[in-house]
């Protein structure tokens, strides 16, 4: 077992966008919109968590190379029954930033779940109507700026 050798790869601009969404109850969505979640502003906390996760991706995924991330953008789409998280990551490097974007989305969604789990639980402590959907790479680009 070994990490892939990228020493011969050219350092170029790389960008990736990933997304996914969490399905939540209508009542929970209203409290998120009004910023009335007990733990704080759910979207702000999820954004910070996504940025932290992106920085720590090589620590979480064993074969992932360390990349000097140049920029991160976290956006949300409020859906009638949930929240879509869209994360874009850019860097100049020898390998892509798809894993960083996917990690950011995943942790943002998990953070949203954590922020609202007290609202989403049923009387048995289960989450019958809370789901994370469609975590995916929307696109990736790489190009030399010359």
SS3 137: strand
- Is residue 81 packed enough to be buried (19+ CB in 10 Å), middle (13-18) or exposed (0-12)? middle
Q: Which residue out of 8, 41, 114, 138 is catalytically annotated?
A: 114
Our answer to whether residue 114 is catalytic in this structure is yes
Of 52, 58, 47, 61, the C-alpha closest to 115 is 47
Q: 47: alpha, beta or left, given left = phi > 0 and alpha = psi -120 to 50?
A: alpha
Which residues are annotated as catalytic?
Answer: 114
């Amino acid at each position: 077992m070994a990490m892939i050798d990228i020493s011969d790869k050219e350092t170029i601009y790389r960008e990736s966008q990933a997304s996914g969404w969490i399905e939540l109850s209508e009542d929970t969505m209203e409290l998120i919109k009004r910023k009335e979640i007990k733990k704080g502003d759910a979207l702000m906390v999820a954004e910070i968590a996504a940025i932290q996760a992106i920085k720590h991706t090589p620590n979480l995924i064993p074969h992932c190379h360390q990349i000097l991330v140049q920029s991160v953008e976290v956006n949300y789409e409020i859906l009638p029954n949930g929240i879509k998280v869209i994360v874009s990551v850019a860097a100049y490097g020898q390998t892509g930033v798809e894993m960083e974007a996917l990690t950011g989305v995943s942790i943002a969604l998990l953070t949203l779940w954590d922020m609202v789990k007290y609202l989403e639980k049923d009387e048995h402590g289960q989450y019958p109507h809370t789901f994370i959907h469609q975590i995916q790479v929307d696109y990736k680009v790489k190009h030399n700026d010359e």
